[in-house]
Amino acid sequence: MLRRFALLSPLSLLLSCALNLPADEPVAEDPPTAPREFRAAWVASVANIDWPSRSNLTVEQQQAEIVLMLDQAEALNLNAIVLQVRPAADALYPSTLEPWSEYLTGRQGKAPEPFYDPLKMWIEEAHARGIELHAWLNPYRARHPSANSALAGNHIAVTHPWAVKQYGDVLWMDPAEPAAVKRTLDVVTDLVRRYDVDGIHIDDYFYPYPVPAGNGTELEFPDQPAWQRYLSANGQSARADWRREQVNKLIEQLYSVIHQEKAWVRFGISPFGLGRPERRPAGITGFSQYDKIYADAELWLSKGWLDYLAPQLYWPIDQTPQAFPVLLETWARENTQSRHLWPGLFTSRIDNSSKSWQPEEIARQIALTREHAGAGGHIHFSMIALLQDRRGIATLLKAGPYANAALVPASPWLGSQIPDAPRLSLQHSEDPKAADRVLIENVEITSVNRFSIWKRYGSKWVFSVQAASQTEFTLDTDPTFGKPDAIVVSSVSRLGIESARSRLQLLP
């Protein structure tokens, strides 16, 4: 089933990606099931990759970029943004635990002037567009090589120097030091408690990627003090197993503290795209995160310590040693707890270089993901490629795979309460040039975050999604299909659970 996509022409593949109803579909009395697909983009703050585009922007310029990115996300029918808010034991929001990030203001510890809360604005602007906002953190990195300013006085490398180690050209919080673990757990608890985020997200940085030391060797991570404490307490594990256990304990604790605070906030992990070597299919080769950065993603899946896995499948379909469809199938097979599988796509590999991918590669990967029963969405790395429409990638997606809106897939293992159905009423406009409006009532805004809306235009049903904060919409005339003759609306909970449908029949 998967192989046939490799034979599709770009045009036929583009059409196969679209979620449009066929134009010749007979008129149905009721609309079909709402389409569901997680469509997201990472917004990286580290090294000013995506946002803010520079560390010396004014507040007005920063805010304008937020609006511009979210407008593009809305135009593309994305339904989630994964925003990096803690790139290196710092914060892109006001925190009593960690200093302001230098990627925001140019100097670590310096607040934006005039003051505003960037994360609060991202959340409010995203939610107003019906888009989820997932807060992305690095659990261990304490300083990135691109950093230029001095460490602030309240940075963990200053206040708890024993918990932070120099490794190559980075500072790294030691996963075996209790102070480092506590800091990350406290930061996550604070974020979930104070902000209306839809998810907490961590990426592929656990122990640092190995640094060459010459003669084919690698620099040893300097965790000797914690290792010696373990041995002194009669620890019996090998050092690699002991390191993996430090990471495993953090993952389990993160899952627990997030859902203790708010049951609906999903926990996502985006590991390196290759799993344990002994579990790989024949012919798949490459870096072992299990052996080198001590990440046992297969264990986390089997234990159900996450709500979605977004393995970074940053290779082309036809690159045999890391073939995209083979890796997708491998991770789906490991997903025994039926958590969400939303692979990461290397969309930023589309650029102006001679090695650039063609936009059709990303469209084909989306098509393959849709074809796989075990996968329900994807995340683009990163938003800048979509914002710049590199080589027409955004135009291609909008015309095909993202022609219509989609709901985020439901997470019933976190809760199954069905929200109340909305009440609909029609408000006629007294101005003959203005459209009538549909009013939506009987909605508990704290438990509902979207409306699923179907409009029937004689020959077809057209689907859209609207933020629950917007409790009305206009009945505009479609240039092709005229005026709608029926409206069907349902409420959608924070966990993606859909209510019963409410119908409004319109007079011709």
> pLDDT (tens digit, 9 = 90+) per residue, 306-334?
999 999 999 999 999 999 999 999 999 99
Neighbours of 417 (CB within 10 A): 10
Tokens of 387: 């914002």
Return the pLDDT at 22. 37
Do 138 and 184 belong to one domain?
Answer: yes
Return the pLDDT at 482. 84
Average pLDDT over residues 210-215: 92
Which residue among 414, 438, 464 closes a domain? 414
- Residue 156 belongs to some domain of the structure: yes
- Residue 40 belongs to some domain of the structure: no
* Mean pLDDT of all residues belonging to the chain: 93
Do 410 and 283 belong to one domain?
Answer: yes
> Where residue 496 sits, what CATH number does that domain have?
2.60.40.10
The range of the structural domain enclosing residue 337 comes to 3-16+47-414
pTM above 0.85, yes or no: yes
Q: Is the CA virtual torsion 270, 271, 274, 275 positive or negative?
A: negative
- With contact defined as beta carbons under 8 Å apart, do 311 and 327 qualify? yes
- Residue 330 belongs to some domain of the structure: yes
Q: Does 21 score more than 60 pLDDT? A: no
- Residue 85 belongs to some domain of the structure: yes
Do 208 and 347 belong to one domain?
Answer: yes
Average pLDDT over residues 82-111: 98
Return the pLDDT at 433. 75
Do 136 and 238 belong to one domain?
Answer: yes
Return the pLDDT at 445. 67
Return the pLDDT at 430. 80
- With contact defined as beta carbons under 8 Å apart, do 465 and 79 qualify? yes
d(CA 450, CA 130): 6
Do 351 and 464 belong to one domain?
Answer: no
Do 410 and 428 belong to one domain?
Answer: no
Do 369 and 475 belong to one domain?
Answer: no
pLDDT confidence of 435, banded at 50, 70, 90? confident
Which residue among 388, 414, 440 closes a domain? 414
- Residue 134 belongs to some domain of the structure: yes
- Of 188, 162, 157, 335, nearest to 250 by C-alpha is 188
Average pLDDT over residues 62-72: 98
Q: Does 1 score more than 50 pLDDT? A: no
Alpha carbon of 247 to those of 273, 278, 395, 501: distances in Å? 18, 20, 40, 44
- Residue 39 belongs to some domain of the structure: no
The structural domain count of the chain equals 2
Q: Does 145 score more than 60 pLDDT? A: yes
Do 291 and 362 belong to one domain?
Answer: yes
pLDDT confidence of 27, banded at 50, 70, 90? low
> Where residue 194 sits, what CATH number does that domain have?
3.20.20.80
Do 367 and 448 belong to one domain?
Answer: no
Give 365-412 pLDDT, tens digit per residue.
999 999 999 999 999 999 999 999 999 999 999 999 999 999 999 999
Do 73 and 206 belong to one domain?
Answer: yes
Neighbours of 348 (CB within 10 A): 23
- Residue 27 belongs to some domain of the structure: no
Tokens of 170: 């980075």
Do 446 and 491 belong to one domain?
Answer: yes
Give 465-491 pLDDT, tens digit per residue.
999 999 999 998 888 778 899 999 999
Do 97 and 184 belong to one domain?
Answer: yes
- Residue 36 belongs to some domain of the structure: no
